Amino acid sequence: MEFSTLNKLFFNPLVSALALLSIATTSLNPAVASKRCDFPAIFNFGASNADTGGLAASFPFAGPKPPSGDTFFRRPAGRFCDGRLIIDFMAQRFGLPYLSPYLDSMGSNFSHGANFATAGSTIIFQQAGGQYRSSPFSLGIQYQQFERFKPTTKLIRDQGGVFAALMPKEEYFDEALYTFDIGQNDLTVGFFGNTTLQQVNASIPDIISNFTSNIKNIYNLGARSFWIHNTGPIGCLPLILTNFESAERDKYGCAKAYNEVANSFNLKLKEALAYLRKDLPTAAITYVDIYSAKYSLFRDPKKYGFELPLVACCGYGGKYNFSNSVGCGGTIKVKDNDIFVGSCERPSVRVIWDGIHYTEAANKVVFDQISSGAFTDPPIPLNMACHRK
């Protein structure tokens, strides 16, 4: 999610290419095996779709406000959602506690991993300025935080005492699952900057190169099992639909050209990961087609029990219940009356929470799809996506 917005709220050819590339890369991943993985920890990197409270801890004024969190946590829990995120369902799947944000010093427990994701983060560090500024915690900064985190946990363990039990065991760093969900904000910054869609598209190779460089750096610190999401159908978000009203829509109501840019990013990411498997033969690298899983909710919402898929549950104004001037949990003055921007009546039947992020119900459907292996390359379930020694 874009940072200044947080201050307020907070191709057909591609399909063929992806199919061919899938055939070519599936056999390269050593994760393909029949034995179930038992990940003792998860280390997560990313942006708002996977932020469990990092931004809220760093910039409280920009964190989610009520009614965020009401569905599950019964309070704001640092997540831009009414409840749990995909990363929360991942932790549950392995019987692990929800990941504490690395940036939160209050009550954090890192014994089974840490979350370096923060809302507004980009892969490439963005300079200050522009209509939509990003978070300062780019992927490169998150890597540096992890680089510091690992030896610091050893120091704390060696010292003993009450804090030692809150640190991951040394062997967990090699055995953990390393998850990534980042890239959407790099595209969003371009969309809202003084650039054309063609220029945003042209920037993608540099973004992907930076992405894979950071993956290599994390690999060099001992990571071996990688679960890497591509970017979602950004053209289906009320943020885009409201701000680019003239953009051509597809038959499901999504902004076609913006989804094509997302698909271009995804194709280049998949290609890059295929090469990365050759460079890192001892790594298990799983590419996760989050785009297709999420797009299915807009293509066939009734199949999953959803309605009004393009309309935000928590928002105010316009066709998509989204405004740039006030977001979920905010207050807007209408005819001298202060109007609180609250939740829709039934978040459980809605796809989009606040115009940018998904509801807990949607996150659960997407998690169930991707964790089965139906949307991954290689096509294996989450609980088999580990490095084999």
Active site residues: 48, 354, 357
Sign of CA dihedral 73, 76, 81, 87: negative
- Answer yes or no: are the C-beta atoms of 172 and 166 closer than 8 Å: no
> Which residue is it, tokens 């309070």?
75
Radius of gyration over every alpha carbon of the chain, rounded to an integer in angstroms:
20
Cβ density class 38-63: b for 16+ within 10 Å, e for less: ebbbbbbbbbbbbbbbbbbbbbeebb
Measured distance CA(100)–CA(371) in Å, rounded: 22
Cα angle at 36 between 220 and 86, to 5 degrees? Answer: 70
Map residue 115 onto helix, strand or coil: strand
Tokens of 173: 């760093």
Say which residues have a Cβ less than 8 Å from residue 151's Cβ, sequence separation at least 6: none
Cα–Cα nearest to 45, from 126, 136, 146: 146
Q: For residue 177, give the H/E element and its range.
A: strand 177-181
- Answer yes or no: are the C-beta atoms of 160 and 209 closer than 8 Å: no
Say which residues have a Cβ less than 8 Å from residue 379's Cβ, sequence separation at least 6: 26, 373
- Answer yes or no: are the C-beta atoms of 93 and 105 closer than 8 Å: no
Chain-centroid distance of CA 182 in Å reads 5
